[in-house]
């Protein structure tokens, strides 16, 4: 057989292997190519994870049922003024409760009284922080609110009813309505342990509308808050960091790694009745999540959640934070009210005004993380939920305490903290108050 004939008969047997081997031969003998833009780490670890990138399973949204006003009967039982104590967000909490109680008792509500508090460097009233006309307009159809009372009542001091210390469930109708009917004008300090879920729908609706739709900062405070907000480099995370001497002293928790200066500051505010816990009581207390996270512990958890160390962070915090260098040594792109506002403006502010700025910035930030679930955190997370801002998380002191008690540290502890907080985030826990104003929606 000639060579041409043999090639015609066997060419497929020769060409097919060559065709299949060509790509491999090309890569073997061609010049090295530059490395790809994205490469996997050399170790078996996955690429860096970010908590906000996790797909959520549920979200909290404001319920629809309370958006429709439930007008009260034309006859009123009298006038009620809500007396509020503490810092801004404690004042707000009491006021929110009072709005629901006023509707429950079918009372006309007088503008609330914010008590002067030297401890909070505070002397401002309701109108110094909130928009009065907006508050009255937004509560219309839920509860009646007035600036002025009839002359025959206005000259009198209201009959004081203090429910703040009452424990367990009690009935406002049984306990407070008789005093309202008798005196026609009462001042009320709501109970801290009130069970709102037992109230009728019209009282619940008034609470939700008054608390989440009717409280807007007045023009002067809001303009200063907007100025502060615009000065923060975007995007940014608002971090409510809590590690002040009074807070740590109140927690009764012991910390072995604090500086002598911090320990002296804590000791200076310790009361006779709140000594540091020791032994089994201290371990149980810490494992229940009762001990505030230190700034360095907070930085560790944020790194475990994939928050980059160059993140722009607004520090929503009061004066007197201890051990802050444990956080700023890792996260250095930090911004505060005092660093962004003119010194004279900052010095003129009262405690409520400063808290209002933190509140506004935190509600409108790209992301919000709290190290404690106090009054501000409850209000901010709820208001962010009202606006559909879901990048919100409360760090778990309980998880951190239990994992460290089990001996976890370093990468193992970081992995455990990731798992714990990922579960919280994807299920929407901590993104709204567990109350009747919000409903859970599966995604």
Q: How confident is the model at residue 45 (pLDDT cuts 50, 70, 90)?
A: very low
CATH number at residue 131: 3.40.50
Q: Phi and psi for 186 in degrees, rounded to 5?
A: -130, 155
- 442 φ/ψ angles, rounded to the nearest 5 degrees: -80, 140
How much is the pLDDT for 440?
82
Based on the domain organization, do 251 and 397 belong to the same domain?
Answer: yes
- Asked if the model's pLDDT at residue 434 lies above 60, the reply is no
- For the chain, percent of residues with pLDDT exceeding 70: 84
Same domain, 247 and 383: yes
Q: Angle, nearest 10°, between helix axes 375-386 and 88-104? A: 70
Gap between the Cα atoms of 184 and 428, Å rounded: 44
- Which of residues 227 and 429 earns the better pLDDT score? 227
Weakest mean pLDDT among 24-33, 136-145, 272-281, 400-409: 24-33
3-class secondary-structure state, position 302: helix
Contact between 318 and 89 (Cβ < 8 Å): no
Residues 295 and 401 in one domain: yes
pLDDT exceeds cutoff 90 at 414: yes
Which two three-digit tokens encode residue 350? 């009262």
Per-residue pLDDT for 78 more than 90? Answer: yes
Distance of CA 345 to CAs 225, 230, 319, 342, 361, Å?
12, 16, 16, 5, 17
Question: Are 405 and 364 contacting, i.e. CB atoms less than 8 angstroms apart?
Answer: no
Structural domain includes residue 24 = no
pLDDT of amino acid 122? 53
User: Is 13 a domain residue?
Assistant: no
Report how far residue 234's alpha carbon sits from residue 202's, in angstroms, rounded to the nearest whole number.
41
Mean predicted lDDT score pLDDT of the chain: 85
Greater confidence (269 vs 51) lies with 51
Is residue 56 left, alpha or beta, with left meaning phi > 0 and alpha meaning psi from -120 to 50? beta
Task: Determine, yes or no, domain membership for 11.
Answer: no
Final residue belonging to a domain, choices 217, 246, 272: 217
What confidence category does residue 215 fall into, taking pLDDT thresholds of 50, 70 and 90?
Answer: very high
State whether 165 and 275 are in the same domain.
Answer: no
Are residues 306 and 328 in contact, defined by beta-carbon separation less than 8 angstroms?
no
Residue 196 belongs to some domain of the structure? yes
Give the model confidence (pLDDT) of 234-249 as tens digits. 999 999 999 999 999 9
Residue 307: its pLDDT value, please? 97
Question: Going by C-beta distance under 8 Å and a sequence separation of 6 or more, which residues neighbour residue 65?
Answer: 201, 205
3-state DSSP of 183-202? HCEEEEECCCCCCHHHCCHH
Q: Which residues contact 36 (CB under 8 A, 6 or more apart)?
A: none
Tell me the HSE value of 1 on the side-chain side, using a 13 A CA sphere.
8
The boundaries of the domain holding residue 315 are 53-60+220-442
| Interatomic CA distance for residues 435 and 99, integer angstroms | 16
Tell me which of 31 and 61 has the higher pLDDT: 61
pLDDT in tens, 279-311: 999 999 999 999 999 999 999 999 999 999 999
- Region for residue 170 given its phi and psi (left: phi exceeds 0; alpha: psi -120 to 50; beta: otherwise): beta
Q: What is the domain count for the chain?
A: 2
């Amino acid at each position: 057989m000639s060579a041409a004939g043999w090639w015609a008969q066997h060419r497929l047997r020769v060409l097919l292997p060559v065709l299949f081997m060509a790509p491999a031969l090309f890569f073997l003998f061609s010049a090295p190519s530059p490395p790809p833009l994205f490469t996997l780490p050399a170790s078996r670890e996955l690429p860096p994870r970010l908590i906000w990138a996790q797909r959520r399973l549920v979200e909290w949204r404001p319920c629809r049922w309370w958006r429709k006003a439930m007008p009260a009967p034309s006859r009123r039982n009298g006038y009620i003024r809500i007396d509020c104590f503490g810092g801004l967000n404690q004042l707000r909490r009491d006021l929110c409760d009072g709005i629901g109680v006023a509707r429950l008792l079918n009372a006309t509500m007088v503008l609330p009284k914010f008590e002067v508090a030297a401890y909070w460097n505070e002397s401002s009233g309701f109108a110094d922080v909130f928009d009065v006309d907006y508050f009255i307009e937004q509560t219309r159809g839920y509860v009646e609110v007035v600036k002025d009372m009839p002359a025959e009542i206005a000259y009198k001091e209201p009959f004081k009813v203090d429910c703040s210390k009452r424990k367990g469930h009690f009935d406002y109708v049984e306990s407070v309505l008789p005093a309202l009917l008798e005196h026609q004008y009462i001042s009320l300090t709501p109970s801290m342990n009130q069970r709102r879920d037992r109230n009728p729908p019209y009282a619940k609706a008034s609470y939700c509308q008054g608390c989440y739709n009717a409280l807007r900062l007045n023009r002067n405070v809001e303009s200063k808050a907007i100025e502060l907000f615009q000065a923060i480099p975007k995007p940014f995370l608002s971090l409510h960091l809590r590690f002040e001497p009074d807070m740590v002293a109140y927690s009764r928790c012991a910390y072995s790694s604090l500086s002598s200066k911090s320990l002296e500051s804590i000791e200076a505010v310790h009361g006779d009745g709140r000594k540091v816990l020791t032994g089994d009581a201290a371990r149980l207390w810490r494992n229940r999540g009762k001990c505030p996270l230190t700034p360095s512990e907070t930085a560790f958890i944020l790194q475990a959640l994939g928050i980059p160390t160059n993140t722009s962070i607004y520090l929503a915090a009061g004066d007197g934070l201890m051990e802050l260098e444990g956080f700023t040594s890792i996260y250095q792109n930090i911004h505060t009210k005092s660093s962004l506002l003119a010194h004279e403006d900052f010095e003129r502010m009262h405690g409520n005004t400063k808290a209002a700025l933190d509140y506004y910035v935190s509600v409108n930030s790209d992301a919000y993380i709290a190290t404690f679930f106090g009054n501000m955190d409850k209000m901010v997370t709820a208001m962010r939920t009202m606006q559909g801002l879901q990048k919100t998380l409360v760090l778990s002191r309980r998880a951190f305490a239990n994992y460290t008690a089990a001996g976890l540290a370093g990468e193992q502890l970081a992995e455990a903290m990731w798992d714990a907080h990922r579960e919280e985030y994807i299920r929407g826990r901590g993104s709204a108050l567990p109350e009747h104003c919000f409903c859970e929606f599966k995604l």
